Structure 1
Amino acid sequence: MTDTALDRLRARCADQPPRITVVLGSGWGGLTARLQDAERIPYAELPGFPVSTVAGHDGALWLGRLGAHRLAVMSGRKHVYETGEADGMKLPLRTLRALGCEVLVQTNAAGSLRPVMPPGSLMAISDHLNLSQRSPLVGEAGSERFVSMVDAYDPALRQHAQAVAQSLGTPLHEGVFAWFLGPQFETPAEIRMMQGFGADAVGMSTVPETIIARHAGMRVLALSLLTNMAAGLSNEQLSHAHTLAQAQAAGDTAGDLLAAILSTLPLA
């Protein structure tokens, strides 16, 4: 963690530091337009924060408010497939934890493995499969590196998300998220294997950040926007441009749900 980034953030929100960190994936960027008293800080002004190479990621930290909660919103993340290293989000997340954030709310775009979750559906992640078997904690010292991943996705936060979704009339599925390293999409054979393993959705992010957050003592809620059926389950031609187009089409529904969840999120 760089003191420079932490000091700069403390200077900007000394009176009321954020208690919730949000990481925005593809299709979820509309949340920043819903923030009140918003301030945008480019990652370039925060030493150690990631410069994303992925289209559709803003590359900035937003400070703002929704309801009674102050938020730190990361518009863009570092993916493992960009560098091959799993710890690209370790410094920013630990910085935000030191700033005062107790909860990490993650979002992503993912492929669906279940016909009951067609493109445009939303899913709360209940558990994950780390198919890449990469960890951002490699190189950590001491017994603290052995963090439990039971209930990595906080049951109480998921219950809250479901209650909010029901009040809005927005279906919110729950399921297991399988993380593949990427950047290539999965093969149909890999998807059939994942179905046998009990996965419900597949993507190229989120799991490393969850590991970092749990190691730091943060509670985690994660939501997926299903932008396509996974390889071999439809006639769609998978591409990043297709993912972005599908994510944009469902972005308003996803953004409304996310804003409602965040504005009423129960904090200890």
Structure 2
Amino acid sequence: MTKAARTIRKIAGAEPVAAALVLGSGLSSIGELMKDTLAIPYSELKGFPGGGVSGHGRDLLIGWMGGRRVAVLTGREHYYEHGNAAAMRPALETLAELGAETLLLTNAAGSVDERFRPGDLMLIADHINYAGMNPLIGEATDRRFVNMVDCYAPDLRARAAGLAERLGFRLGEGIYLWYSGPSFETVAEIQMAIRLGANAVGMSTAPEVILGRFLGLRVWACSSITNMGAGLSSENISHEHTKAMAVQGAEKLRRLIPALVEEL
């Protein structure tokens, strides 16, 4: 067991968690939906995110949501912070050791498809690892050869789509393309993403999906669309804009995620 897992159990008790949730830029308010919550600063947990990006939290929350005990990472570490695609591996390994069988991921993303506009959610059906980095580089065992077919669990996607319909909003599926960041994409890169079949672009998530599958977790992911890609609108693309617009998607995720957790 990791040192972080022992620390968490000492503070929050040994009762297992049913799911782990990672919150993206501007989405940390989703953690406010939990009940009987214990907050543990990342700084107290060995291997947990150490850098930090504005708009991301820096605490692990353990509590109840949708009638299930869950662990929530209020922020993630990105490849662009230190050049380490495996930065989230210690945290995800720890949450798997705490009993999590399902990994729910959220992010803020830019749309390259007119069907997904700022304020919409996009359920991720698959991804393109255009950054080319892989968090399993250096893994010495044959477990590194992870099968990525249906890496975004089809049953969870179907449940989420049905829940969104009942909640009264559209939840379309799309392909997420991972750029390393931290600079935003050029107009030419956005046009390339469209030609490659992407529907949205972002700077996270794909490494965690790979790690989740490596750890044997069911994975689900959803993007909060904050802007159109470079050259597709007159928006001034910036991180401040991303954080501000993520609030619109967060309101829908605040309704969707607890309902999805309840059905796990």
Q: CA RMSD in A?
A: 1.2
**DSSP-derived class of the 1:153 partner:** coil
Return the alpha-carbon distance in structure 2 between the equivalents of residues 115 and 218 of structure 1. 32
Aligned amino acid, residue 200 of structure 1: N
Return the alpha-carbon distance in structure 2 between the equivalents of residues 53 and 68 of structure 1. 30
Question: Are 1:193 and 2:192 matched, yes or no?
Answer: yes
Question: Are 1:66 and 2:65 matched, yes or no?
Answer: yes
Correspondence for 1:243:
242
Question: Are 1:93 and 2:92 matched, yes or no?
Answer: yes
Deviations 1:78-135 (A, max 9, x none): 0000001101000000011111111000000000011111100001100000001100
Unaligned runs of 5+ residues in structure 1 are none
Return the alpha-carbon distance in structure 2 between the equivalents of residues 170 and 52 of structure 1. 35
Correspondence for 1:10:
9
TM-score (norm 2): 0.97
Moved over 6 A (4+): none
Return the alpha-carbon distance in structure 2 between the equivalents of residues 205 and 3 of structure 1. 24
Deviates more, 1:39-48 or 1:199-208: 39-48
Correspondence for 2:33:
34
Deviations 1:121-174 (A, max 9, x none): 001100000001100101001211101100000000101111110110111110
Aligned amino acid, residue 76 of structure 2: R
Return the alpha-carbon distance in structure 2 between the equivalents of residues 70 and 26 of structure 1. 23
**Structure 1 pair 224/143, CA: closer, same or farther in 2 (3 Å)?**
same
Correspondence for 1:142:
141
Unaligned runs of 5+ residues in structure 2 are none
Identity %: 45
Deviations 1:50-72 (A, max 9, x none): 12321011111000111321100
**Structure 1 pair 170/52, CA: closer, same or farther in 2 (3 Å)?**
farther
Aligned amino acid, residue 17 of structure 2: P
Correspondence for 2:157:
158
Correspondence for 1:265:
263
1:5 and 1:95 in contact (8 A); partners too:
yes
Return the alpha-carbon distance in structure 1 between the equivalents of residues 126 and 62 of structure 2. 29
**DSSP-derived class of the 1:221 partner:** strand
Return the alpha-carbon distance in structure 2 between the equivalents of residues 204 and 47 of structure 1. 24
Return the alpha-carbon distance in structure 1 between the equivalents of residues 169 and 15 of structure 2. 32
Correspondence for 1:131:
130
Aligned amino acid, residue 265 of structure 1: E
Please report how far the alpha carbon of residue 15 of structure 1 lies from its aligned counterpart in structure 2 after TM superposition. 4.6
1:5 and 1:46 in contact (8 A); partners too:
yes
Aligned amino acid, residue 67 of structure 2: A
Return the alpha-carbon distance in structure 2 between the equivalents of residues 21 and 249 of structure 1. 23
**DSSP-derived class of the 2:13 partner:** coil
* Paired residue total: 264
Write the mapping of 1:169-248 to structure 2, written as runs, cut at 5 A: 169-248=168-247
